[in-house]
Structure 1
Amino acid sequence: MDSFVNFFKKIPNKFASSAKELGKVQGIAIIAMLLALRVVLGMFANIGLAFNPYVKIGFTFLPMALVAYYFGPVCSMITACLGDVLSYVFAPAGASFTPGITAGYIIEACLLGIILYKEKISLPRTIICEVLVTLIGSLAINTYFIYMFYGLTYLQLLGLRAATLIPWAIIEGILVAVVVKALNRVPAISKNLPTT
């Protein structure tokens, strides 16, 4: 119980520390590269599923998780917002831009930053993080805004999306843990990233 309380006590410090990351030129450069990767992945690495047309599987979670882990919630929220807007500007998908879906991505990025920033990476942590982010962002929030475009009820759409997104969230958690641990082992990379 104490560790749970301590986790919540650290949240304001995570936001303050993350905001300070925006004052470092090297950090901004790395965040910009991860933002560019997020935009490219958002444009070219989304896979529509034949068996579930209400879900696209993509890899934008990876640069977002890296920004959240290394630079915190403030930086990851800015990156999520810019990434979604830029992806739409360069490769519009759908009839119109939906700010509600962007808000969902910002909330997902905030959760990623709160859970991962300045914490030891472990497989259980990244899996729980990605599942929680999926439940709150992709399922609860984004499903609501997607529901406005389809003739299904919210609960029908929620069920269809959950059947695909929850297992995918587990895979995302595994990939995040593997990539972060691999990056932390490469001296040329890890020496240029903030210490956690």
Structure 2
Amino acid sequence: MAILIALEMVLSRFSIGSNALQVGFSFVAMGLIGYYFGPYKAAIAMAIADIMKMVILPSSGGFFWGFTVSAIVSGIIYGVMLYNKKVTVVRVLITTILMVVIVNTLMNTLWIHMISNVPYLVLLMPRLLKEAISLVYQTGILYLVLKWISNSRFNRIN
């Protein structure tokens, strides 16, 4: 689990694209943690990763508890949807929809609103297109990674 937490921390700091549309890959590590360890351990792992990121790899924004709540909810969603479940496109799509809508669009926009005092709807509108695009690539990449893992000798960690 520690390796996957470290992977999530590193991947969260790298993204490609412009300020308007940045493509990140930390969702792969989060999905793997949920797939291997289930909702409870994944929620704890995501909280640990979020707090450790602020200590080891601080960002200019500093620590805000709301993003830790988002991380915990992410671990729960990935764990409930992927742990001990057959990897299918539909399951990964539903998982990604839940993540994009609940965590990325609704919760994280609320946290940004609370930090910046910019009206919620003003923040939400540009994020909708970004999250719609991320839904497509996250579903595809996560499905390919999980399908490969499920068909390999690494399908379970003992």
**TM norm. shorter chain > 0.5:** yes
Give yes or no for the alignment of 1:36 onto 2:6: yes
Q: What is the CA deviation profile of residues 84-105 of structure 1, one whole-angstrom value per residue up to 9, with x for unaligned ones?
A: 1111212211232001111011
| Aligned mates of 1:175, 1:57 — CA distance in 2 | 12
Aligned partner of 2:66 in structure 1 is 100
Cα RMSD, aligned residues only: 1.8
Question: Which stretch of structure 1 is more off in the superposition, 89-98 or 64-73?
Answer: 89-98
Query: Secondary structure of 1:186's match?
Result: coil
Query: Which 5+ residue runs of structure 2 have no aligned equivalent?
Result: none
Matched length? 158
Residue type matched to 2:24 in 1? G
Give the residue type in structure 1 aligned to 2:8. R
User: Does residue 1:132 correspond to 2:102, yes or no?
Assistant: no
In the alignment, residue 66 of structure 1 is paired with which amino acid?
L
Cα pair 1:126 1:176 within 8 Å, conserved: yes
Q: Which amino acid aligns with 1:37?
A: L
Unaligned runs of 5+ in 1: 1-30
Please tell me the residue identity of whatever aligns with 2:140: I
Residue 8 (structure 1) aligns with:
none
Is the counterpart of residue 171 in structure 1 residue 133 in structure 2? no
Amino acid at match of 2:60: G
Q: Secondary structure at the match of 1:94?
A: coil
Q: Does 1:46 align with 2:15?
A: yes
Q: Percent identity?
A: 28
Give CA deviations for 1:73-116 in whole Å, capped at 9, x if unaligned.
01110111111111121221123200111101111211111111
What is residue 157 of structure 2 aligned with on the other side?
193
Q: Higher Cα Rg: structure 1 or 2?
A: 1
2-structure distance, mates of 1:57, 1:87 = 19
Letter in 2 for 1:39: M
Letter aligned with residue 49 of structure 1: S
How far apart in 2 are the matches of 1:56 and 1:84? 19
TM-score normalised to structure 1 length: 0.74
Matched residue, 1:3: none
SS in 2 for 1:36: helix
Q: What do the CA deviations read for 1:112-144 (whole angstroms, capped 9, x no partner)?
A: 111111111111210121111111111111111
The SS at the match of 1:148 is: helix
Q: Which amino acid aligns with 1:142?
A: N
Q: Which amino acid aligns with 2:6?
A: A
Q: Is the 8 A contact 2:87 2:150 kept in 1?
A: no
- Provide TM-score, normalisation by structure 2: 0.90
1:75-114 correspondence runs (5 A)? 75-114=41-80
